[in-house]
Amino acid sequence: MLKYIAKRFLLMIPTLLGVAILTFFLLRIVPGDVVEARFIAAGQGQFVDRALMDMERAKLGLDQPMWKQFVAWMWGLVRLDLGLSMWTGAPITEEIKLRLALSLQLAIMATVVATLLAIPLGVVAALKQDTWIDYAVRVFSIAGLAMPSFWLGILMILGFLIIFKWLPPMVYTPFWVDPWENLAQLIWPALAVGYRYSAVATRMTRSAMLEVLREDYIRTARAKGLWLKLILVRHALKNAMLPVVTVIALEFAFLLGGLVVTEQVFNLNGIGMLFVEAIARRDYTLTQALVLLTASTFIVVNFLMDVMYAWLDPRIRYR
pLDDT at position 315 is: 63
- Integer CA distances (angstroms), 64 to 27, 39, 44, 68, in order: 15, 21, 25, 6
Distance from C-alpha of 202 to C-alpha of 9, rounded to nearest angstrom: 30
Least Cα distance to 189 among 261, 111, 106 occurs for: 106
Low-confidence ranges of the chain (pLDDT < 50): none
The answer for residues whose C-beta is within 8 angstroms of residue 113's C-beta and 6 or more apart is: 190, 191, 193, 194, 195, 198
Q: Residue 241: what residue type?
A: M
Q: Residue 235: what residue type?
A: H
- Integer CA distances (angstroms), 91 to 82, 85, 274, 278, in order: 8, 6, 14, 14
Residue 128 burial (CB count, 10 A): 14
Query: Taking a C-beta distance cutoff of 8 angstroms, is the pair 256, 103 a contact?
Result: yes
Q: Which residues of 248-257 are buried (b: 16+ CB within 10 A; e: fewer)?
A: bbbbbbbbbb
SS3 category, 270: coil
Q: Residue 247: what residue type?
A: V
pLDDT at position 115 is: 92
Q: At what angle do helices 284-312 and 66-78 cross, to 10 degrees?
A: 50
CATH assignment, 94-318: 1.10.3720.10
Distance from C-alpha of 290 to C-alpha of 205, rounded to nearest angstrom: 32
Q: At what angle do helices 284-312 and 2-29 cross, to 10 degrees?
A: 160
Distance from C-alpha of 250 to C-alpha of 103, rounded to nearest angstrom: 15
In tens, the pLDDT along 113-156 reads: 999 999 999 988 988 888 999 899 999 999 888 888 888 888 88
In tens, the pLDDT along 218-254 reads: 777 777 777 777 777 777 777 778 888 888 888 888 8
Distance from C-alpha of 147 to C-alpha of 156, rounded to nearest angstrom: 13
Domain residue ranges of the chain, discontinuous segments joined by +: 31-81, 94-318
